[in-house]
Amino acid sequence: MLRQVAEGVLTHQSALLENNAVVVQGASGALVVDPGLTESEMACLASDLRELGQGVAAGFATHPDWDHVLWHPDLGDAPRYGTARCAAVMREFRSDPDWKAHAAAGLPPEIAEETPLDLFGLITALPAEATQIPWEGPRVEVIEHPAHAPGHAALLIRECGVLIAGDMLSDVLVPNLDTLNDANDPIAEYLVGLQRLQDVAAQVGTVIPGHGSVGGADEVRARIERDRAYVLALCEGRVPRDPRVGPTAKPGWEWTTDIAAEQVRRLAERHGR
C-alpha cells in the first residue's frame, strides 16, 4: 500500500528487505523509482497508482543491484532511466546468454519463485551530462556518485525537500562498499558519495533510503555522520560500533554484522594486513 511521505511523494515498502519503492506524482503520470521485489508487490503498486489516477510516465533505477532493476508489465513500458554507467552494467550483464539463470541464482530463496525477471535490467541511460530526469513533473535532480555500486545515484526533489538515497542512509542496512572491484578505492568512493549527499542536506526535509525507515530533517545529517563513522572504522581495520551491527541490530537484520566482518576482511586483504 502506498504511503505519502511528502507532498506528491509516496512509498511502497517490500516485506522481505524493506525495499522502498518511491512514487513521485507528475502532471502526465508518475515517476517510479526502484519499484520492488516480487510480482505481487509490483502488481499492488501498479494497482495503487491506478486508484490514484496515475499511469507511469517514467522509471528510475538508483543503481544496478538486482533489487533495484526489477519491473512488472502492469507498470507499463515507459522509459526506465538510470545513469549511463548503471545502464552499461546492465547491458553487459544481459549480454550473457545465461543472464537470467545468473540473476535467479542471486535471488533470496524466500522470493525466488515470486520475482519476475523478464524485464530485469532494461535501463535507459541518461546522457552523461544529465543533471535531472526528463519528465513532466517536479524537477528531480540526479546526484551521481561512486559509493556502493557503479553508477549509483541519489535523487533530490528540492520542491518538496525529498532525498531518495538509494542504498545509503539506511537505519537498518550498513554501508555496503564496492569491495569486489580490485581497481577502485571503496573507502574513498564511499566518502565521496556521503559528501555529495551532505552538500544538499540543508535542502532535505525527508530522506528515503533504499531499505528501512523514512527519516525526517533531523535524521538526514545524523545518518550521514553515522555512515561516515562506520566507513572510517572499516578504514581502521575494525568492525564498527554501530546500532546496525551486533546485538543492537534490528531483529531480522542480524546478518549485517556478517557484512561488517566480511568488509574488514576484504579491506585487510587489499592492504596486505
**Crossing angle of helices 186-198 and 217-235, rounded to 10°:** 160
In contact, 173 and 214? CB cutoff 8 Å: no
List, for residues 15-72, the tens digit of each pLDDT value. Answer: 999 999 999 999 999 999 999 999 999 999 999 999 999 999 999 999 999 999 999 9
Biggest distance spanned by C-alpha atoms of the chain? 58
Could you read off the pLDDT of 132-165 as tens digits, one per residue?
Answer: 999 999 999 999 999 999 999 999 999 999 999 9
Alpha carbons 211 and 60: distance in angstroms, whole number = 16
Contact yes or no for 249/257 (Cβ under 8 A): yes
Are 22 and 32 in contact by the 8 Å Cβ rule? The answer is yes
Beta carbons of 41 and 54 less than 8 angstroms apart: no
The kind and range of the H/E element at 266 are helix 256-270
- 216-240 pLDDT per residue, tens: 999 999 999 999 999 999 999 999 9
Specify the pTM: 0.95
CA distance linking residue 128 with residue 161, whole number of Å: 25
CATH no., domain 3-270: 3.60.15.10
In the chain the beta strands, taken as DSSP E runs, fall at: 3-6, 9-13, 20-26, 29-33, 56-60, 80-82, 124-125, 141-144, 153-157, 162-164, 206-208, 215-216
Residues 6+ apart with CB under 8 A from 263: 176, 177, 179, 234
- Cα–Cα distance, 179 to 263 (Å, whole number): 7
Can you give the pLDDT at residue 272?
67
The 10 Å Cβ neighbour count of residue 142 is: 18
